[in-house]
Structure 1
């Protein structure tokens, strides 16, 4: 992405309803996973791949020792300066760690940026310890494709069976839980994307052109956050949604 976008995304990750709601959904589900797995968070090793401007590494740090990787060198330097985090410049398709290094490997909205997404998943599995967990999120449905995906350098959006296929290509682990999410807001977002594509509004925005620019902090931002955040209760009960704007997927490696 353009370097100015990372500066914009630094603020978005901390103020925009979608980022904050996703953070709550992810954090609450990790709490559930670790509780069920009886993990001692004082010793858990976490790899956060594609940390961007750093917010995901900040909230993951409450669960254990986080190692952060980001592909874009400028973003590494920018995020490190802003957050004080040590961020490694590296690629998900060539993770600079040996096999069996981490208890939890996370990639939140990352593999859609990678042309060889199967290699990305294989690398995540490689550095994962036996009985370790991979937790990813990805954008869903090509029917939602818009200028937002173009400027974020996405290769694709996914359907759930496509994500499952990436992980089940070898008999080396098992699915824990998978679901679409951001379901309650799917209809208005779908309509927004279709109108945006028709009118090419994304290309006319002053900033990055992402959909995130369309909603600024305020009452509407709070309403949308609360609607999306409601889904946490369902996901923590392992209730899968049949559709949504995004996908959540967790997988456990066999010994």
Structure 2
């Protein structure tokens, strides 16, 4: 997760429809997996691992991000959270890479490196922004290198030594709205030396409506290989 977005939303990040719904999607995808220790790679604020600590039986989280000024320790729901700039190995049974791989030049290389740091049988949950045609100023602001089709992120996982268990798109219900906004915006967009984020806190009614649309698709999301704003890949080492 990107610290730039954390800076924009601040303490209200958990109220934003996108992060609120995405956290529920993560819990949905992991519903049949017993997790004790989480390794959250490119964790930023650790929003998703903290959510799992608060709403599941997970007992501990290690958040790794090169952007941290120094190593530190905290807690969530009475459970330890360790923030580290790097790690050499991990006993985690779940590795999260939430919107991380699109930031690096060598996505297979980064993922392979973390596969080598954990034991065989460790689950990996990966999310990436979907569809190249949705590229916008928002991607430039977040310093993305690419967006993915579902088959592409599954291929990255396989090339890194993982066995793909499941892949799905999410935010399909809001996909037509977002795609229209992005495409129209790109049509009239002028190059800027200071790209801006499209992320913002919406009016309560808009926020609630977008959250409701996203939550409504949760029961069917595991079957969605057609379209969405995010591509999820669940794999095992």
- Which TM class, normalised by the smaller chain length? 0.7 to 0.9
Aligned residue runs from structure 1 range 84-103, under 5 A: 85-90=81-86, 96-98=87-89, 101-103=91-93
Unaligned runs of 5+ in 1: 91-95
State the distance in 2 between where 1:189 and 1:204 align: 24
Structure 1 position 4, deviation (Å): 7.0
Aligned residue runs from structure 1 range 33-182, under 5 A: 33-34=32-33, 39=34, 41=35, 44-61=36-53, 62=56, 63-74=58-69, 85-90=81-86, 96-98=87-89, 101-169=91-159, 172-182=161-171
Instruction: Indicate if the aligned counterparts of 2:39 and 2:62 stay in contact, CA closer than 8 A.
Output: yes
Residues matched between the structures, number: 231
Instruction: Report the 3-state secondary structure (helix = DSSP H, G, I; strand = E; otherwise coil) of the residue aligned with 2:233.
Output: strand
Instruction: Report the 3-state secondary structure (helix = DSSP H, G, I; strand = E; otherwise coil) of the residue aligned with 1:27.
Output: helix
Give the equivalent residue in structure 2 for 1:246: 230
Structure 1 position 57, deviation (Å): 2.5
Q: 2:205 aligns with which of 191, 210, 219?
A: 219
Give the equivalent residue in structure 2 for 1:190: 179
Instruction: Report the 3-state secondary structure (helix = DSSP H, G, I; strand = E; otherwise coil) of the residue aligned with 1:23.
Output: helix
What RMSD in Å do the two structures reach over aligned CA positions?
Answer: 3.0
Unaligned runs of 5+ in 2: none
- CA 81–105 in structure 1, closer or farther in 2 if over 3 Å, else same: closer
Q: Does structure 1 residue 7 correspond to structure 2 residue 7?
A: yes
Instruction: Indicate if the aligned counterparts of 2:5 and 2:199 stay in contact, CA closer than 8 A.
Output: no
- CA 137–12 in structure 1, closer or farther in 2 if over 3 Å, else same: farther
Normalized per residue, the structure richer in helix is 1
Structure 1 position 169, deviation (Å): 2.2
Structure 1 position 173, deviation (Å): 4.1
What TM-score does the superposition give when structure 1 sets the normalisation length? 0.79
- CA 72–173 in structure 1, closer or farther in 2 if over 3 Å, else same: closer
State the distance in 2 between where 1:82 and 1:3 align: 19
Instruction: Indicate if the aligned counterparts of 2:41 and 2:64 stay in contact, CA closer than 8 A.
Output: yes
Structure 1 position 89, deviation (Å): 1.6
Instruction: Indicate if the aligned counterparts of 2:138 and 2:198 stay in contact, CA closer than 8 A.
Output: yes
What TM-score does the superposition give when structure 2 sets the normalisation length? 0.85
State the distance in 1 between where 2:75 and 2:140 align: 27
Instruction: Report the 3-state secondary structure (helix = DSSP H, G, I; strand = E; otherwise coil) of the residue aligned with 1:155.
Output: coil
Instruction: Indicate if the aligned counterparts of 1:202 and 1:210 stay in contact, CA closer than 8 A.
Output: no
C-alpha deviations, 1:126-171, integer Å up to 9, x for none? 123221100010001110000100010100000112112212226x
